[in-house]
Structure 1
C-alpha cells in the first residue's frame, strides 16, 4: 500500500515539471502527507491541465457515508478495471497525484524501520490516481485514491506493494479527457516501465501524521 508521502520541493519546480502556468493556491511544502488530508493533484478539464487539491481517501459518488474514504486510500491496479468502485473512474476520472517521495515501513525482527523512497532520476513525479465527486444536498467532496501494484525487485525487499508511478512521458496520456475502456487503462498500467528507485532510513517521527516537518525526510544517521 501507499499510506504516506511527501512533496517537499518548491512551487516553481512543480509548475515547471508539469507544464502548469500561474500559481498553486495555498501552496506549501509537505513532508508527511497522510490519508484524509489534501493532496496536490492535476486533472485535465477538456481544455487545459488544472492543478489543485483533492482529499486523499476516495468517497465514491454513490457512497452513503463519507467515512468510507478512510478505507479507500489505495486501489489495486490489477483489479481496478473490474471493481464497481473504480472501473468507471478508471475510464474517465484519472488524475496525477504529485509527490517527490513516499514512505514505507520495512519489517525487522522486533520493529519496523521507516524508509523514504524516491526516484533516482528526478525530484518530482506523479502517482496514477482516480478521483470522484460526492454530493449530498449542498455538501460536496472531491476525493482521490492512489493506484498500487505488485512491488518490483527493489521495493519487494521493503514491502510487497508499491504505488503506480507514471513515467513523465505517460502523464498526459493518463489524464487525457478521452474516455477509455477500463480494460484499456488496465493494460496501460501493466505496460508502464518502472523507473529506478532508491531509499534511505528516516526517523520514526514519520509514524505520526502530526509531524510534518523537514526532519521527516532527513536521512537517519547510523
Structure 2
C-alpha cells in the first residue's frame, strides 16, 4: 500500500526511501508515496529493490524485473533536480542537474506491488508490514547521456516532456532517449550530499572551482 502524502522538501532522497509518483488508477491520475527501488511481484526478498532503483530504457521491455511493469504499471516521478557524480582526482564530485526552462522535471518510471509472503521474517526493510501486506515501489528509467551530461556521467534519467506524460502513463510508445542538452543546468554542489543522513538545503550549495 502507498503511504500518506509527504510533500515536505527533500534535498537528498536515497534508495529505500519514499517519494511521490504520478500514476493513473481507477479514479484517474493521482500522487502516491512509493518506495524507491522496484520489488518485482515474484521476488523472494525485498532486498532486490536496492539493485533496481534504475531501469535501462534500452532493455526495460525484456528484463524480467521490469517487463510486466513496463506493460501495465507506469508512473512519472516529479523532481526539481537530480544528482550525479564525476571522478575528480581521488574523490567524486557531486553535481546537481536542473531544468533551465521549467521548475519541475518528470522522470519516466515504473511501479510494482509486492506482497509480504507468509513466514517472512519482519526486518527493517519492510517496516511494520505483515504477511499479505503490499509494498508499492518504483524505479526510474535511464538512458544514454546527452552531450552536456556526458561530461559528468554516461547515463541520465529519461525526462518526459509535458506532451509525453499522458501517453506514457497510458502505456503507449514514447521517446525514451536523452533530452536536449540546452535545457539542463549542471553545477557542482557540496559533498554533504554524499551522506544520505544529510537532507537539508546545504546539500545544494554551489561549489566553485571544480
TM range (shorter): 0.7 to 0.9
Q: 2:37 aligns to what?
A: 57
Provide the rounded CA distance (Å) in 1 between the counterparts of 2:138 and 2:53: 7
Question: 1:118-157 deviations in whole A, cap 9, x for unaligned?
Answer: 1110111110000000013322100000000011111000
Question: Over aligned residues, Cα RMSD in angstroms?
Answer: 1.7
Once the two structures are TM-superposed, the CA of residue 193 in structure 1 deviates from its matched residue by 4.7
| Residue 31 of structure 1 pairs with residue 11 of structure 2 | yes
Question: Is the 1:90–1:130 Cα contact (8 Å) retained in structure 2?
Answer: yes
Provide the rounded CA distance (Å) in 2 between the counterparts of 1:124 and 1:36: 22
Question: Is the 1:57–1:72 Cα contact (8 Å) retained in structure 2?
Answer: yes
Gaps of 5+ in 2: 117-130
Q: 1:88 aligns to what?
A: 68
Question: Is the 1:167–1:192 Cα contact (8 Å) retained in structure 2?
Answer: no
**How many pairs does the alignment contain?**
191
Q: 2:204 aligns to what?
A: 217
Change (3 A) 1:191 1:36: closer
Q: 1:5 aligns to what?
A: none
Counterparts of 1:101-120 in structure 2, within 5 Å, are: 101-120=81-100
More helix by share: 1
Q: TM-score, normalised by structure 2?
A: 0.85
Which of the residues 120, 129, 138 maps onto 2:132? 138
Q: TM-score, normalised by structure 1?
A: 0.81
Provide the rounded CA distance (Å) in 2 between the counterparts of 1:77 and 1:204: 29
Gaps of 5+ in 1: 1-23
Change (3 A) 1:48 1:81: same
| Residue 205 of structure 1 pairs with residue 192 of structure 2 | yes
